[in-house]
Amino acid sequence: MLIENGILADLSSEGGESAAVNGAKDRLKSAQDAVNSQRRDLDSHNEDLNKEYGPDGVFRALKGQCISVDSGEYTYELCFMEHTTQKSKKGGSSTRMGNFVRFDKITVDEEVSADGKGLGSGERIAMRHENGQHCWNGPNRSTTVVLGCAEQNEIWKVFEEEKCVYRMEVGTPAVCEALKQAEVVKDEL
Ligand code: MAN
C-alpha cells in the first residue's frame, strides 16, 4: 500500500524510484518537451520576420506568387522571394536559375516604352537569386531581377548577360511607392 501511494520506493521497478518521483519526472519531461517545441516555433517566426521583405515589407504579400514570359526558345518564370526557372518551349524539365537570397540596389539607365513599361533610369530595387542549377563549363546559374513600377506583376525582358548569368526586368506595383518617394527626395535636392 505504501508503494502504491508513492511513499515507499518500489525497488522492483526501474531505477527504484517511488511512483510520486516517477510521476514528477514524467511531468517535468513533458513540460521540457513543450518548451523546446515552443522555442523552435519562436525561432522559425523570428527567422521569417528577419528575412528581408524589402522596403516596409511590401514584398511579404508577393511571396510565392509566380509570373512567366516566353522569350526566345524558353519560357522563364519568377516566383517572388523563391526562385527563377527556365523551361524549353519544346518541353522537358525546367532549369533552376537561382534561389532568392537578398534584395539589393542597382543603378540602371534603360528605355521606357510608350506604354510606360521599362525600368527608366536611376536607382532601382533588385532581387538576387543564386545557386541555381550548375552550368556545364560555367558557374551555378544566377539571376538578378530588377524591379520597376507597373500596375501588374509582369516580366518585361529576360537576358543572359553572360553564360548562365541571367537578368530579368520585372514590373510590379510593390516598388511604385518607394520609387515615388525617391523621386520626391531627388527633386528636393
Ligand atoms: C541551357 C540554358 C542556357 C545556357 C546553357 C549553358 O541551354 O540554360 O541558358 O546558356 O544551358 O550550357
| DSSP line for 136-185 | TTS-B-EEEEEEEE-SS-EEEEEEEEETTEEEEEEEEGGGHHHHHHHHHH
Residue closest to 15 by CA, chosen among 29, 7, 5, 25: 25
- Ligand 1 geometric centre to CA of 157 (Å): 17
Ligand 1 contacts CB of residue 142 (under 6 A): no
Question: Residue 27 has which C-alpha cell?
Answer: 511531468
Per-residue confidence band for 88, with pLDDT thresholds at 50, 70 and 90: very high
CB atoms within 10 A of CB 37: 10
Task: Quote the cell numbers at residue 5.
Answer: 501511494
**Is the confidence at residue 170, as pLDDT, over 70?**
yes
Q: What is the pLDDT of residue 111?
A: 84
- Decide if 84 contacts 74 (C-beta within 8 A): no
Residue nearest to atom 8 of ligand 1 (CA): 164
Q: How far apart are CA 18 and CA 174, in angstroms?
A: 64
Q: How confident is the model at residue 142 (pLDDT cuts 50, 70, 90)?
A: very high
Q: What is d(CA 10, CA 154) in angstroms, rounded to the nearest whole number?
A: 73
- Predicted local distance difference test score (pLDDT) of residue 189: 79
Q: How large is the average pLDDT for residues 39-44?
A: 84
- Over 70: is that where the pLDDT of 141 sits? yes
Residue 160 Cβ inside 6 Å of ligand 1? The answer reads: yes
pLDDT for 50 beyond 60? no
In the reported structure, the alpha carbon of residue 113 is separated from the centroid of ligand 1 by a whole-number distance in angstroms of 29
Atom from ligand 1 closest to the CA of residue 95: 8
Q: Is the pLDDT of residue 129 over 90?
A: yes
Asked if 106 contacts 92 with a C-beta cutoff of 8 angstroms, the reply is no
| Helical segments of the chain, H only | 19-50, 176-188
- In the DSSP assignment, the letter for residue 118 is S
Mean pLDDT (whole number) for 88-115: 92
As a whole number of angstroms, the distance between CA 104 and CA 102 comes to: 7
Q: Is 164 in the pocket of ligand 1 (CB under 6 A)?
A: yes
Q: Which is nearest to 107 in space by CA: 92, 84, 123, 130?
A: 123
More confident residue, 6 or 117: 117
Residue nearest to atom 11 of ligand 1 (CA): 135
pLDDT at 54 over 70: no
170 CA from centroid of ligand 1 (Å): 21
